[in-house]
Structure 1
Amino acid sequence: MGEMQGRELELEVTNVAHGGISVARHDGRVVFVSDAIPGERVRARITEDSKKSFWRAETVAVLEPSPHRREHVWAAAGPGRDPRDRAGGAEFGHIEIGHQRELKRQVITDALSRFGGITRDVVVEALPGEPDGTGWRTRVRLHVDEDGGIGPYAARSHRVIRVADLPLATPGVREVAPLGDRFPGEQTVDVLEPSVGGARLIIGTQKPLTITERVGEREFTLDDGGFWQVHRAAATTLTDAVQHAIDDALFDPRAHNLDLYGGVGLLAAAVGDRFGSATRITTVESDAAATEHAGRNLVEWVGASAVTARVERWITALAGSAGEGERERMRAGTVILDPPRAGAGAVVVEAIAALQPAQLVYVACDPVALARDIGLFRERGYEVDDLRAFDLFPNTHHVEAVTRLVRA
């Protein structure tokens, strides 16, 4: 423990950083402060001083509040609790919802400038739902403590916090969440509400069951523990966004089109629905159960196929072995990619760029990872042609972006 850890300082908070934290300075040193808003003066407790370049701190009192501060939407995560006992998962809940989107806009534009080398503004678009940003989570993971009680983890910790409510969750999830029950011997309790069939629990590692999610008129099957967008309007929003992001003039349904990190086929289906049943598209996903579902979900498109493989290995092998005919189909192709939070990374970017597809539609849940990958694509001859952002995670710092890149 450093000599500053546990000490309290008065800090002037100046701006927002990636990760849902704000930035202040103390004697020239950067201090990352949680539960604060740029423009505020706060008293904060130092929680980490081991880094020479910065410290971390938690707000314990707001001395001069921002006009954008509001009563926290979740008392269990709010300033009425000691920072160590605040539930995680609602780190922007004390900020007025419109200003949350403004801060997310700042994070995106700063990341694009610093890591992507581009200056571009963006509007963070709201999704349908409650005006205070509650009631949207269709999936909540609760953890079991040593006494069998359940709750979310504390912010920035793996300590279970028992709570009385889950305001970010949908009404159906809130109704069945067994917050007062005990589950000795288990590790997790997942509560989910698919768009078809009602809310349910997954206790521990019980055998997966198949559920159905509906997007417009289309239905998708998947395992109940499998990945699906969490916001109740997210799948529809991203389907529409990806369909609009594809440049018609650059799309060839007979080309070798790809959907990388494709899950159960949501975005491949978005492409097929827009361009017709003969559209050729290969969706690639490392999770075998998801790929099996994707094959069924995409069965009506004669040119669709689902491959189980790690994307970096599969795309690198394709780039290394494709003959001239395959390369020609790839150069006419469109690549959809929706990588995990860490981004696609240099290996995947290098392989995609080597195949020279006509356009890329990149769906990203982390602005810094997106910006880094954009920088890598720009070094290889691609430029951002369109970028939109969506508030898929209200009352948290997370934000989704959909970007089109084309050969310069």
Structure 2
Amino acid sequence: MAESQGQQLELDVTNIAHGGISVARHEGRVIFVGDAIPGERVLARVTEDSKSSFWRADTLSVIEPSEHRQMHVWSSASVARKPEDRAGGAEFGHIVPAHQRELKRQVVVDSLKRFAKLESDVATGVTVEELPGDPDGTGWRTRVRLHVDASGRPGPYAARSHRVIPVTELPLATAAIQEAAPLAARFVGEEHVDIVQAGTGGARLIVGQQKPTTITEYVGEREFRLADTGFWQVHTHAAQTLTSAVQEAIDGELFDPRAHNLDLYGGVGLLAAAVADRFGSSTRITSVESDKAATGFASHNLSEWIGAEAATGRVEKWIAQLASSANSHDRARLRASTIVLDPPRSGAGKQVVQSIGGLQPAQIVYVACDPVALARDIGLFADRGYDLTALRAFDLFPHTHHVEAVATLTRR
């Protein structure tokens, strides 16, 4: 163990960092502190010495609390517990919701400044918008994964750990999920248990590698079929929020329904349907997804639009092949296109950005769940001739550090 580990320090917390941790300094060294709020003075214990310029620490007690501190919404994650016994997954639960959104806004703005070199009004003027629902930010999760320990007990992992923490409540989950969650049961030999609340039929348990079944979700009156083990937005209002946000993010004057429009990392077709719903039955759009089962559902979900289709393939390979094989007519349709992409947390990355930039679409709508990855990719798109022209952020994950953003990039 490094000599610094286990050391207890009184720290003045100065600002927020990406990942749900706060920043303090001790004798010139940066310390990332969990369960603290900028403006507080806390007693913290060093847990990790990276042998570089920073340490990590956990808050043991709060000496001078922030005016934005509240009683944690989840007692199992409270600072009153030993750090190693705190449930993960609600790292902002000790902060009043309005200030959570302010801290998330700061992270988005700082990420754009540091990784995209952007300080424009579009970048700095963003706010993090609250979703409908319970104003205290609980009761929104429609999907929960419980991990299982060696004795078969289910529960969340502790923060930054694979240690299962038994709990008696899941306050971020919907009432149906909370009622169905088998918190007192035993699942010896299993790795995890999922509880899923679909748009119809209530909550269901999925134990381990259980065979998937088909469920139906709704956005307004539109139905989407998918596997109960497949991806769907977690917040009860997230799918509708992102549908509307993507529709509004597209510049109608630049949209050509006859162009080779794309929906990358398209899942079961949620955002492709959002585009087609806005621009009508003549819309041509291809949804690309690596999961063959999801692509099959996307084909069904998009079947009412004759110009919509779903393709199975890894986006980086599919888009590179498109770029290399397109003839002059295809390239003209691609230059007129709108490309929507919703990549995983790691972002699209250099290869995909270069391929998209090479197609020279009229506009790009980028849906992101990680502000650092988004900012990095915006910087890469800038090198390919695209400017950030609109940006919205949404609090799709209250009481966590996660924030969703929808960015519009327009070709110069």
Normalising by structure 2, we get a TM-score of 0.99
Equivalent in the alignment of 1:169: 173
Q: Secondary structure at the match of 1:248?
A: coil
Q: How many residue pairs align between the two structures? A: 408
Task: Give the letter aligned to residue 73 of structure 2.
Answer: V
Equivalent in the alignment of 1:41: 41
**Structure 2 counterpart of 1:388, from 380, 387, 392:** 392
1:195 Cα offset (Å): 1.4
CA contact (8 A) 1:259 1:267 kept: yes
- Cα-to-partner distance string for 1:61-98 (whole Å, 9 max, x where unaligned): 10000000000000000111100000000000000100
Q: Secondary structure at the match of 1:88?
A: coil
Equivalent in the alignment of 1:18: 18
Distance 1:51 1:367 in 2: 27
Equivalent in the alignment of 1:143: 147
1:190 aligns with 2:199: no
Q: Secondary structure at the match of 1:254?
A: coil
Equivalent in the alignment of 2:159: 155
Distance 1:338 1:375 in 2: 17
Task: Give the letter aligned to residue 81 of structure 2.
Answer: R
Distance 2:373 2:50 in 1: 25
Moved >2 Å (runs of 4+): none
Distance 1:79 1:342 in 2: 30
Distance 2:334 2:314 in 1: 19
Q: CA-atom RMSD, angstroms?
A: 0.5
Distance 1:315 1:51 in 2: 41
Distance 1:370 1:329 in 2: 26
1:239 Cα offset (Å): 0.2
Structure 2, gaps ≥5 residues long: none
Normalising by structure 1, we get a TM-score of 0.99
**Structure 2 counterpart of 1:350, from 332, 351, 354:** 354
1:100 aligns with 2:100: yes
Where does 1:251-270 land on structure 2 (aligned, <5 Å)? 251-270=255-274
Q: Secondary structure at the match of 1:250?
A: coil
Distance 1:137 1:346 in 2: 32
Where does 1:293-332 land on structure 2 (aligned, <5 Å)? 293-332=297-336
Distance 1:39 1:240 in 2: 36
CA contact (8 A) 1:2 1:50 kept: no
Structure 1, gaps ≥5 residues long: none
- Cα-to-partner distance string for 1:163-207 (whole Å, 9 max, x where unaligned): 000000000100100100111111110001011111100001010
Distance 1:183 1:394 in 2: 29
1:50 Cα offset (Å): 2.5
CA contact (8 A) 1:264 1:294 kept: yes
- Cα-to-partner distance string for 1:204-255 (whole Å, 9 max, x where unaligned): 1010000000110100000001000000000000000000000000000000
> Alignment identity in percent?
70
